[in-house]
Amino acid sequence: MANSFCLSQCDVIGFDLDHTLCRYQLHESNKLIYESFAQYLVTEKGYSEELLCVSPEEWDFCSKGLVLDLEEGNFLKLDANGIVLRATHGTKSMTGEEIEEVYGEKREWKNFNTINGTYTRSAKYYFYDNHFDLPSALLCAKIVDCIEMTEGQKKYDFWKDIVAAIEHNYKTTAFKENCGTFFPAVKKDPSKYLKPCSDAVKHWLRDLKNSGKTLLLITSSHSDYCLLLCEHILGKNFEELFDIIITNALKPGFFSLIPQQRPFWALENDEEIHMLPSLEKPGWYSQGNWIHLSELLKKITEKSEPKVVYFGDSMRSDIFSAHHYSNWETVLIFEELEGEEVYKPNMTDWRSSLKKKGKYDICLLITSSAVSPLTT
């Protein structure tokens, strides 16, 4: 059963950036990400130009929670116990008989115990849980389709090329060097891909800050891309909203690694200039670890165990890691709900009612302890 907590009880409120505070125009960003990977595979790795063509209905293939079985070329939808509910081979749906032929009569996926509760990565599978790599699920499925249309041994060894495409487009220096496809496109036309935060959200953040809450922004995006995003969605003075900004956090390592493995770095003109043995004051930092951050939060809040809540969109990088390693409360953002028929409260009335009740005395679900990684 899910527990609950109240924001009024939290001393520190942290946010991921991409697909949390910064929402994307998913239709456009998904196309851009797919094209950036596919173009690289075609031009640099010699893959078929057929990968560049995507029909509108094919986008439905992209769904969070998919597992790519790299040994079989299959995409799996699992239940809470690792049982294969549905599967495709490439983009082709598998029948019940075909699933049982590969995974046995009980349909048990053999690698489930290595991913459930730990999100351990492996060369044998890949778990899709964020929008920055989700379009590659469709790309990989179409690659499997291409392999099946060729004669000879069926070996699914394309993953190294997918990783190379991701590295090429998302590497730390890509924004500055204007290389790849993704960053140049977003820089050229941010409004095409990004949704500005509403005035209600901006007021909410400012009210939180003014009420004495310590606000964090922790993102794996590099500082230059973070600057572009935040100025576009929050305005030029966005830094006033946060006590601490951490970029290039390389989550989940930010939460799982010790200070010696992942120290903080001071920044100057978007360059990491020197390593920091600890954090002494609020500011903008790069990389780092939650242990040193925790010490600074104790100093800022003047509490031995400040209560922290963190909002994020990735089960692996944000929700599981922040709760498991740091014991933070967590709130999972489902951007996909925008397309559903859900109740949308009047934000003006909501803020007004909060003031009447006592600021931010609102209860939220703790998702990390209540949701199994592959149940949705």
Residue 329's beta-bridge partner residues? 309
Per DSSP, which regions of the chain are E strands? 4-6, 12-15, 23-24, 67-69, 74-78, 84-89, 92-93, 125-127, 194-195, 214-218, 244-247, 264-268, 271-276, 283-287, 308-312, 329-332, 363-365
111: its two tokens: 């690698």
Dist. CA 113–CA 83, nearest whole Å: 11
Spatial CA neighbour of 124 closest among 168, 186, 71: 71
Across the beta sheet with 125-127, what order do the strands follow? 92-93, 84-89, 74-78, 67-69, 125-127
Q: 22 phi and psi, to 5 degrees?
A: -95, 110
Residue 317 sits at the vertex; the CA angle it makes with 257 and 218, to the nearest 5 degrees, is 80
In three-state secondary structure terms, 88 is: strand
Ordered DSSP codes for 205-245: HHHHHHTT-EEEEE-SS-HHHHHHHHHHHT-TTGGGG-SEE
3-state secondary structure of 120: coil
Q: Which residues are CB-neighbours of 228 under 8 A, at least 6 positions away?
A: 175, 186, 187, 190
Kindly state the helix (H) or strand (E) to which residue 134 belongs, with its residue range: none
Active site residues: 16, 18
CB neighbour class for 31 (10 Å; exposed up to 12, middle 13-18, buried from 19): middle
